[in-house]
Structure 1
Amino acid sequence: MTDIEDLLPQNFAYVILTFIYSYVMLMYLGINVGKARKKYGVKYPQMYSDKENVFNCIQRAHQNTLEAYPAWLIFQLIAGLAYPLSASVLGAIWVTSRFSYAWGYYTGDPQKRMKGAYGYIGLFGVILISLATALQLLDVI
């Protein structure tokens, strides 16, 4: 039987912890949507409100994160397999930025969501590491 240490690179535990951190963030955003549904009277399956802009902003913060999450997961995994420490730092930046993004959006002023724009450092960082990994595997670099 193979040990997990033989399958994953050293320090991959940090990547796993980053994934757990991202799951906590998603649950936090989802719980806030549930609370806002109750507060603003937006019933399921209605996604948005015709009357409550703040609810729509809370919903969009969560929905936008869900839209970006699958791509981030893939690039985070690839980058983490090749460069686990760098990927973990970049991943933590992206996840933390989603809180900043949401808190700005929660004000009801969509422009304030840009407080989370620093997350692009993390996202583009893991994309670039993934690209570099692919090029290394192809013996291009």
Structure 2
Amino acid sequence: MFHLTAFVTCLAVLMYFFFSFQVGKARQTYGVKAPAIIGDPDFERVFRAHMNTLEWMPIFLPALWLFALYISDAIAAGLGVVWIVGRILYMTGYAKAANKRSQGFMIQSIAAIILWAGATGAILWRLIHP
């Protein structure tokens, strides 16, 4: 069973859900009425951080699960937590200023790349060495 990876998946979804509320809160704070997505730079940064997280979810989640299946549940979960921490740092940094998002972006992207490369390597290894 892959309990750790499943739990980290739930945490990632919870994080994304929380980010959704942050966008709603920013709409109220900065007076950007739906369906508008522009109008105040402070709102736009929160919105873009949320959308960028959505853009990374289809990269992160399959890589997380394939890594867990082919390599290790515990290591996948650990890297998944690193990815979540990176996304939180990205969101909080970007909400303050666009130039404060880099550290979180690097952390989450490195975690995602390790998950993807590890999974891809393990799958290729098993294809070559059945």
Task: Determine what percentage of the aligned residue pairs are the same residue.
Answer: 29
Q: How many residues in Structure 1 have an aligned counterpart in Structure 2?
A: 128
Unaligned runs of 5+ in 1: 1-7
1:104 to 68, 93, 96: 93
Task: Compare the two structures and name the one with the higher helix fraction.
Answer: 2
CA–CA separation in structure 2 for the residues paired with 1:133 and 1:41:
49
2:8 equivalent to 1:18: yes
2:72 equivalent to 1:86: no
User: Do the aligned partners of 1:57 and 1:105 also contact (CA within 8 Å) in 2?
Assistant: yes
2:59 to 52, 55, 71: 71
2:101 equivalent to 1:122: no
The C-alpha deviation readout for 1:83-115, integer Å capped at 9, x for no partner, is 2111111111011110000000111x2010112
Unaligned runs of 5+ in 2: none
User: Do the aligned partners of 1:90 and 1:122 also contact (CA within 8 Å) in 2?
Assistant: yes
2:55 equivalent to 1:95: no
Q: TM-score normalized by structure 2?
A: 0.92
Q: Point out the structure with max Rg over C-alpha.
A: 1
Displacement of 1:121 after TM fit?
2.4
The C-alpha deviation readout for 1:38-69, integer Å capped at 9, x for no partner, is 111111111222xx111000001100000111
User: Do the aligned partners of 2:59 and 2:112 also contact (CA within 8 Å) in 1?
Assistant: no
Moved more, 38-47 or 86-95: 38-47
Give the superposed CA RMSD.
1.4
2:43 to 38, 55, 58: 55
Q: TM-score normalized by structure 1?
A: 0.85
Displacement of 1:140 after TM fit?
5.2
4+ runs deviating over 3 angstroms: none
